[in-house]
Structures are given as structure tokens and as C-alpha cells.
Amino acid sequence: METVSTTIPNPLTIPEQKTFIDSIIERNRNKPGATMVVCTELQNEIGYLSAPLQEYVASEMNVPLSSIRGVVTFYSFFTAAPRGKHSIKFCLGTACYVGGADQLIEKAEQVLGIKIGETTSDGAITIEACRCVGACSQAPVITIDEELFGKLSASKMPKLLKKYQD
Ligand code: FES
């Protein structure tokens, strides 16, 4: 899921980060599942895989760009831009969807003035969708950073979000 509301820095233009990126690629180049391993390390260490970085990894590892894009787009662990200080994820698994996840998202978008997948302009909050987080009995569920909030309703959202806006 992409976060696009602020200018995305390019780590390849920062010599220190470029050296670091090259070392990650070099170290993992010949491992089984190398693409996934490299993407995971870059996400952990750099914090995001921007479009230029995806292109660089594809070219350095001699794999199609579409396979890198596929990984970054499919798994919610990855992001193409830095996440905000707080990461809010809305579960869109069946139980949460049926329980009204779309209304929670709509309210959050309205309160924060951004769309799902975006980061507030002050860099405080990123909102994203995710798959089932395994707490279906508490649907609808969201996670904020490492914490889980269940049995939510749209009317509870503004107060909850307020805590993370300041
Ligand atoms: S469907 Fe949302 S926690 Fe399982």
C-alpha cells in the first residue's frame, strides 16, 4: 500500500544509504528467495521501498521490476514511502468488513483529511488497510502501532484518533 502525501526522499542519493543498500543486495544476492529477503531487509533498515529503489533492486538483482512491485504492493508489511510516526491499519478481513470496517475508514479519512494509504502532511499518521489480524471476535478491528482496538464504531474514531494527532 502506498503512502504518497509528502515528497518521498530517495535513499539512493544519500551516499551512506546507497552503500548500505548495496551491501544488503550483495549479501543476499545468491540466497534462495533473494528478492523477498532483500526487500524485507530494505523495508526494515531503510523504512520503505520507493519507486527508484524498487527499480534499482530489480536491475541489480536482474529480476523483472514487476516482481519487486508485486511484492511491495501485495504485502502490507511493505510501503513505497516512509510511514508516519503512527501507523493505523484497518482490518479488511471478512468479519471486520461485515462489521463495518468501511465506515471506520470513511470516518478516519474524514477526520484526518487523507485517503487510505496516505500520510498526514505533518507526518504524524499513516492509514492503511490490512488483512485479518486474528482478532475476528472483536470485529471491527484496527491496530495503531503495536496496539489493537476492537469492537469499534465510527462514532468512537474521532476521540481515538485525537490521541495520535497531537
Ligand atoms: S477479520 Fe478482522 S481480525 Fe479477523
Q: Residue 26's pLDDT is what? A: 95
Distance 132 CA to ligand 1 centre (A): 4
Ligand 1 pocket test, candidate residues 141, 143, 148, 151, most atoms within 8 A of CB? 141
pLDDT in tens, 125-134: 999 999 899 9
Ligand 1 atom closest to the Cα of residue 140 is 2
Distance 24 CA to ligand 1 centre (A): 34
Is the CB–ligand 1 distance for residue 46 below 6 Å? no
Mean pLDDT of the chain: 91
Is the CB–ligand 1 distance for residue 132 below 6 Å? yes
Q: Residue 7's pLDDT is what? A: 66
pLDDT exceeds cutoff 70 at 17:
yes
HEC profile for the chain?
CCCCCCCCCCHHHCHHHHHHHHHHHHHHCCCCCHHHHHHHHHHHHHCCCCHHHHHHHHHHHCCCHHHHHHHHHHCCCCCCCCCCCEEEEEECCHHHHHCCHHHHHHHHHHHHCCCCCCECCCCCEEEEEECCCCCHHHCCCEEECCEEECCCCHHHHHHHHHHHHC
Q: Residue 4's pLDDT is what? A: 42
Q: Residue 92's pLDDT is what? A: 95
* CATH code at 86-165: 3.40.30.10
Q: Residue 51's pLDDT is what? A: 92
Is the CB–ligand 1 distance for residue 93 below 6 Å? yes
Q: Residue 101's pLDDT is what? A: 97
157 or 81, higher pLDDT: 157
**Backbone dihedral angles phi then psi of residue 45, each to the nearest 5 degrees:** -90, -40
Q: Residue 11's pLDDT is what? A: 87
pLDDT in tens, 52-111: 999 999 999 999 999 999 999 888 889 888 889 999 999 999 999 999 999 999 999 999
Distance 99 CA to ligand 1 centre (A): 9
